[in-house]
Amino acid sequence: MYLFFLAQGLSFTQIAILEALYNLTTLVGEIPTGYIGDRVGRRTSLLIGSTLIALTLLGIGLASSFVILAGLYICWSMGYNFRSGSEDAWLYDTLTEDLSAAEFAHVRGRGESVSLAVGAGAAIVGGYLGTIDLSYPWFVAASVTALGVPVLLTVEEPTTYERTDAAALSLRRTLSVVRKTLSQRNIRAFVLYYYVLYAAVTYLVFVFLQPIFETVVLDFGATQSQVRALLGWFYAAYSLFGAGLSYYTGAIRARFGLRRWFLWLPFVVGTALIGLYFIPVLALPAFLLIRGLSDVTQSFAGQYVNDRIETTGRATVLSAMAMVSGLAVVPFQLGSGIISDIVSPSFALAMAGGVLVVSSLGILLWEAPIAESEQEEAG
């Protein structure tokens, strides 16, 4: 996508503005769309989101100006707003029916593994399609996303949700549930630790992966005409590595435990980002590592938060977490875009890695982000 934007004549600063618009829309739209998901049902919210995303992807493939792309990015964000809280809320409530809510991270990880494995093949196809025309992958993505609509029509609402009095759920009551959740001792530190710092910094990795990849492979002797196809193969490896780790999400949790995982995570990622600036060849393995850790970590975060909230207002609370993350990433995006234009994208990532390490240490000194009860013993 970023090669597509650069081909349209956009600067890194303009790309950063697009991403900032996306996240500002997330900030404004997450709680209202999460509330809609709690009121009208998870499936209806997912249907709206998938339809909006499919139409937006088609529009981006046809767009050729920054102003049009800015409008489409707002629509794209709204589509994910409708999906973000409702996806995990639907899964957790469905598992609750079978008394297996504790398996949320495991089941979500297996699902993400399948998604990434299929995405590996799509990445290769997309890379070759991009060598023909960078718009073609957008059109295919729109078509595949649209297939989700008939699939969702076969999905039923969880019985756990249907037992709740959703019609009586006022916005004021929902916001009260959100405030109560965020005021919990370990939740508030966890929000800063993961949803603000870690999520914001790793988001930048996905923004700058493509231009940094291009620079690295050209330095190794690849021709400009080979970059897009090579990028497709790299994304395939990128997805397969993530799929492998996601498949073993449950085993990883049993081996390390949530507390140990989250305590070490920001320091490993931050060090990798700093290192790739000084040793550029480390960029590719660093991207693979961060990608692999991303989905496992997201499943763990979902498990940790879901275990501490009730069905009533669940989608809104999860959407509020995404809203906080969307707000936090905006200054990172704008700052990194300017720094990338002045110095380089790798320098911007190195600075973000330094902020992640120092700020995470500060939060740990203030308050533990993971409750003591999450100290599972390593196997």
Average pLDDT over residues 253-270: 90
Q: What is the pLDDT of residue 178?
A: 66
Q: What is the pLDDT of residue 379?
A: 40
Q: What is the pLDDT of residue 299?
A: 82
3-state secondary structure 137-188: HHHHHHHHHHCHHHHHCCCCCCHHHHCCCHHHCCHHHHHHHHHHHHCCHHHH
Which amino acid is located at 216 in the chain?
A: V
Q: What is the pLDDT of residue 378?
A: 41
| Of 302, 206, 191, 175, residue with least CA distance to 246 | 302
pLDDT > 70 in the chain, percent: 84
Q: What is the pLDDT of residue 160?
A: 63
pLDDT band for 311, please (50, 70, 90 cuts).
low
Average pLDDT over residues 345-359: 93
- How many Å apart are CA 301 and CA 75, to the nearest integer? 26
Bigger pLDDT: 114 vs 326: 114
pLDDT band for 377, please (50, 70, 90 cuts).
very low
Average pLDDT over residues 198-204: 87
3-state secondary structure 43-109: HHHHHHHHHHHHHHHHHHHHCCCHHHHHHHHHHHHHHHHHHHHHHHHHHHHHHHHCCCHHHHHHHHH
Bigger pLDDT: 103 vs 6: 6
Q: Which CATH class is domain 2-153+171-374?
A: mainly alpha
Bigger pLDDT: 96 vs 59: 59
pLDDT > 90 in the chain, percent: 20
**For residue 176, is pLDDT > 70?**
no
Average pLDDT over residues 255-261: 88
Q: What is the pLDDT of residue 376?
A: 46
**For residue 163, is pLDDT > 60?**
no
What does the angle CA 87 – CA 90 – CA 93 come to, to the nearest 5 degrees? 145
Q: What is the DSSP letter of 224?
A: G
8 A C-beta contact, residue 359 and residue 196: no
Q: What is the residue-averaged pLDDT of the chain? A: 82
8 A C-beta contact, residue 343 and residue 13: no
Of 23-27, 325-329, 365-369, give the lowest mean pLDDT range: 325-329
Q: What is the pLDDT of residue 226?
A: 87
8 A C-beta contact, residue 33 and residue 45: yes
| Of 82, 84, 70, 83, residue with least CA distance to 19 | 70
Domain positions in the chain are 2-153+171-374
Bigger pLDDT: 163 vs 26: 26
For the chain, the C-alpha Rg in angstroms (whole number) is 20
Q: What's the count of helices (H) and strands (E) in the chain, helices before strands? A: 17, 0
**For residue 351, is pLDDT > 90?**
yes
- How many Å apart are CA 351 and CA 303, to the nearest integer? 30
Average pLDDT over residues 319-347: 81
Which region, left, alpha or beta, applies to residue 9 given φ > 0 means left and ψ of -120 to 50 means alpha? left
pTM (2 decimals)? 0.66
